[in-house]
Chains A and B, each alone.
Chain A
Amino acid sequence: METEIVKLTIPVSHRDHIQGKDTAPLTLVEYGDYECPYCGQAYPIIKQVQKHFGPKLRFVFRNFPVSQIHPHAQHAAETAECAATQNKFWEMHNYLYEHQQALDDKHLEKYASELGLDLTRFKNDMSMHVHAARVREDFLSGVRSGVNGTPTFYIDNIRYNGSWDLETLGNIWVHY
């Protein structure tokens, strides 16, 4: 769409939430917001893309909550990060996108319980906003990498400006 090449400023590392092997030849990074309807639309598409590419694809998710228009996005992101500290990031990630219509604090706690998180720790982390700094770090890394809305995708560290429907994303292999 545009000729300008925009790059990911913070490379994928051990701090990230990663599905797939480090040796995978293709890396897809998403900056997303749990309450964003477009991210919700992209969620099942990403699943299909992962299925399509199998072990060739590594998928990374970073937080980009747009809090002023999505009032529950920040806490939802903190919930996912809290789950990460209990080794359940992707379970929570999926759960949040599958329950996108109900992301208020009461529901977030319910999801934590349903996924078997240590609830005492969860409640403490949430009330102290233990994971807020991590979420902001993700957000700012996105701002410095040219994220201009959600979802924004990067393929092998280059911002992907094309359409993210299954057909187009399924064909990215040809272009990259």
Chain B
Amino acid sequence: MSETASKHQQQEHQQQSAVLKPGTSAPDFTLHSKPGESVSLSQFRGRPTILAFYPADFSPVCGDQMTLYNEVLPEFEKFNAQLIGISVDGVWSHLAFSKDRKLRFPILSDFEPKGEVARNYGVYRKQDGMTERALFVIDKDGIIRWSYVSPIGTNPGAEGILNALESNAGPREHG
């Protein structure tokens, strides 16, 4: 099947690009979350942060992925972790998407220069002009503890994130 072949190409591509690995310091960034509002990674220092890069607002799989994370949010919060979604879509698209899916976490626009943050994390797909479907769990000191690049059409679910938070992000905080 050509689909399988393209999956292989994808995997090869992933291996070739330099996805930031565990142990690496997470590059800081400041991106727009809403028109007129910005969010920086460094403002979450002191608590674990989950970065979820996704290819595009409103594409069916992404919808499921962000919708799923929205539901799992209380579990992330048990680790005091902050979830951040990132795609190359503009703020107005994000606003509509966030409203439609009733998202309770920020989604940021890696819009100008396009994909710069994704490039810094090694998860930009130049050939498509969008980011990989990639996950990073960053600890309270700003060190990447887990990273994962999913096949672009596959929702990676939340299990990997929860496992990473459990094993890497320090003791679970209750409350």
Q: Does B93 contact A (CB under 8 A)?
A: no
B159 adjacent to A143 (CB under 8 Å): yes
Number of B interface residues in the complex (CB < 8 A)? 22
Of B3, B64, B158, chain A has the most CB atoms within 10 Å of the CB of B158
Give the contact stretch, choosing among B34-42, B66-74, B84-92, B122-130: B66-74
| Contact status A2-B7, CB under 8 Å | yes
A69 within 8 A of B: yes
Total cross-chain contacts (CB, 8 A): 47
Contact of B158 among A3, A68, A69, A143 (CB under 8 A): A143
Q: Give the residue of A3, A139, A145, A149 whose beta carbon is less than 8 angstroms from that of B155.
A: A149
Contacts of A66 in B (CB 8 A): 67-68, 71
Q: Size range of the interface on A? A: 10 to 19
A19 to B30, CA, bound (A): 53
A147 contacts B by Cβ under 8 Å: yes
CB-CB < 8 A to A3: which residues of B? 7
**What residue in chain B is nearest A67 (Cβ atoms)?**
B71
Known: A2-B151, A68-B104. A143 touches B157 (CB 8 A): yes
Residues B154 and A2 in contact, CB atoms below 8 Å apart: yes
Contact of A68 among B64, B71, B159 (CB under 8 A): B71
- Collect the chain B residues with CB atoms within 8 Å of residue A144's CB: 159, 162
Bound together, the chains give a CA A68 to CA B100 distance in angstroms of 10
B101 in the interface, Cβ–Cβ < 8 Å? yes
| Interface presence of B156 (CB below 8 A) | yes
Report the separation of the CA atoms of residues A6 and B156 in the bound assembly, to the nearest whole angstrom. Answer: 11
Complex contact B67–A69 (CB within 8 A): yes
User: Bound complex: CA of A139 vs CA of B70, how far in Å?
Assistant: 13
Asked if residues A148 and B157 are in contact (CB atoms below 8 Å), the reply is: yes
- As a 0/1 sequence over residues 138 to 158 of chain A, the CB contacts with chain B under 8 angstroms (1 = contact) are 011001111111000000000
In the bound complex, what is the Cα–Cα distance between A3 and B11 (angstroms)? 12
Contact B151 A68 (CB under 8 A): no
Contact B154 A147 (CB under 8 A): no
CB distance from B158 to the nearest CB of A (A): 5
Q: How far is the CB of B75 from chain A (nearest CB, A)?
A: 7
Query: B156 contacts which chain A residues (CB < 8 A)?
Result: 148
| Closest Cβ–Cβ distance, residue B137 to chain A (whole Å) | 16
Chain A residue with Cβ nearest B104: A68
Among residues of B, the one whose C-beta sits closest to the C-beta of A144 is B159
Separation in Å of the B38 CB from the closest CB of chain A?
25
Q: What residues of chain A have their CB less than 8 Å away from a CB belonging to chain B?
A: 1-3, 66-69, 139-140, 143-149
- 6 A-B contacts (beta carbon < 8 Å): A2-B7, A68-B102, A68-B104, A143-B72, A148-B157, A149-B155
User: A68-B101, A143-B159, A148-B64 given. 7 additional CB < 8 A pairs?
Assistant: A2-B151, A68-B102, A69-B101, A69-B102, A143-B72, A145-B159, A146-B157
